[in-house]
Structure 1
Amino acid sequence: MSFHSPVHVSERREVQLVRFLQAAMVVILLIGLWQGNAGIVVNSGIGLLVTFLPAFFERNYRVTMNGGIVLWISVAMFLHAFGTLSVPALGFISPYKSTWWWDHMTHALSSSLVAGVAYAVTRALEEHTEYIVMPPRFMFVYLLLFVMAFGVIWELIEFYVGVVSSLVGVGKVLTQYGLDDTILDLFYNTIGGLLVATFGTAHLSDLSDQLRARMDSTNR
């Protein structure tokens, strides 16, 4: 994987940070397997796979994500996976259960990733075809609405996964803590989308240009 980042971090340091986070998630996955904890295994396993998506897209589709984006993805996935782990310093309780703001932080980070993907793909489509026009103000609103809609769908997924887990008698993979928590999740999802819509789009322009070039090449 090659890393080309606009942030003032060396290429070697970017690789080291990403690899460290991936190794940490492997450790969390092994702990989950050792404990027989389905929630830890599923969340860390999926998070680990997501961190390898940038390398997959570069190798198979020649779409290169810069180091800042790769770190963004890796940090979000690591914090989510770590949040499911029972930590001795917290009385063998997971950060999700012991730290009130952990769930909100991970929701904001995850929703910012969703907003980033939505922006990159939508901008690529806008540049690729004349039938889609997204003025900056409309794009801003679009990203917020997209993240809010995705957040609602995710909350429904969490609910039904919890129901199925209870029916089949396995540990909870995704957990809901009530209606108040759901409302707060949706609020922090919006915060994540707002941050991307306000500050993050400039850092995603290169990625969207690569996607547009890829779309153009498939039509030739």
Structure 2
Amino acid sequence: MNAALAFAATFLPGLFERVFGVEFRPWQRVYADAAMLTHSAGMLGPYDDVWWWDHVTHTHSATLLAGIVHVVARRRGRDPRPRVIGAVAVVGVGWELIEFAIHAVADRFGVEPILVPYGTRDTAFDLLFDFLGALIVLAVGDRLLGNFLD
């Protein structure tokens, strides 16, 4: 499931360019695609074998969501800070609930879950690193995402 979502997400920069009339810088495309690649590659073992992999992927993905929210808020003349924190919190908690629900349904039917929750400690760290991603965007978003504000 993660790999399919990640693959689909690689088409978002092109869609955003066509729909919203913005242009991604080359490094921004690479940054977005790298987030998708790290999630997909993680399913091959790094999530279980590399202790920090999950932290990096959560931070990276959160910066993408936070970046989108930041740009939308700025383009509408709004303060991005509460919107970025709120969006990252809602999506982060929502994702963790989806992981839990998928695991519960899989257990109920005796099948292997497509997403694996690793417990409450992991969930807390996931949300912590989601917030780190939000804070990074709040710190550098205006400077690094200015091309989307013109």
> Aligning the two structures, in what range does the TM-score lie when normalised by the shorter sequence?
0.7 to 0.9
CA RMSD of aligned residues (A): 1.9
Equivalent residue number for residue 11 of structure 1: none
Task: Please tell me whether Structure 1 or Structure 2 has the larger radius of gyration of its CA atoms.
Answer: 1
Q: Distance in 2 between matches of 1:121 and 1:169?
A: 43
Q: Is 1:63 the counterpart of 2:22 in the alignment?
A: yes
Do residues 80 (structure 1) and 31 (structure 2) align? no
Match among 140, 143, 149 for residue 199 of structure 1: 140
Query: Bigger relative contact order, structure 1 or 2, given CA contacts below 8 A and separation 6+?
Result: 2
Pair 1:101-2:52 in alignment: yes
Give the TM-score normalised by the residue count of structure 1: 0.62
Aligned-pair identity in percent equals 36
C-alpha separation between the residues in 2 aligned to 1:45 and 1:199?
A: 30
Q: Distance in 2 between matches of 1:109 and 1:75?
A: 9
CA distance in 1, matches of 2:116, 2:149: 34
Q: Per-residue displacement from partner, 1:93-124 (whole Å, max 9, x unpaired)?
A: x1111111111110111111111011011111
Q: Which residue of structure 2 aligns with residue 116 of structure 1? A: 67
CA pair 208-174 structure 1, distance change in 2 beyond 3 A? farther
In structure 2, the CA distance between the partners of 1:56 and 1:145, relative to structure 1 (3 Å rule), is closer
1:179 aligns with 2:92: no
Whole-Å separation in 2 of the counterparts to 1:54 and 1:174: 26
- Alpha carbons of 1:184 and 1:67: their partners in 2 closer, same or farther (altered >3 Å)? same
Partners in 1 of 2:4 and 2:30 — Cα distance? 18
For 1:31, the equivalent position in structure 2 comes to: none
- In structure 1, C-alpha distance between the alignment counterparts of 2:30 and 2:113, rounded to whole Å: 28
- The count of residues paired between Structure 1 and Structure 2 equals 150
List alignment gaps of at least 5 residues for structure 1: 1-41, 86-93, 127-132, 210-220
- CA–CA separation in structure 1 for the residues paired with 2:111 and 2:16: 34
List alignment gaps of at least 5 residues for structure 2. Answer: none
Q: How does 1:1-220 map to 2 (within 5 A)?
A: 42-85=1-44, 94-126=45-77, 133-134=78-79, 139-209=80-150
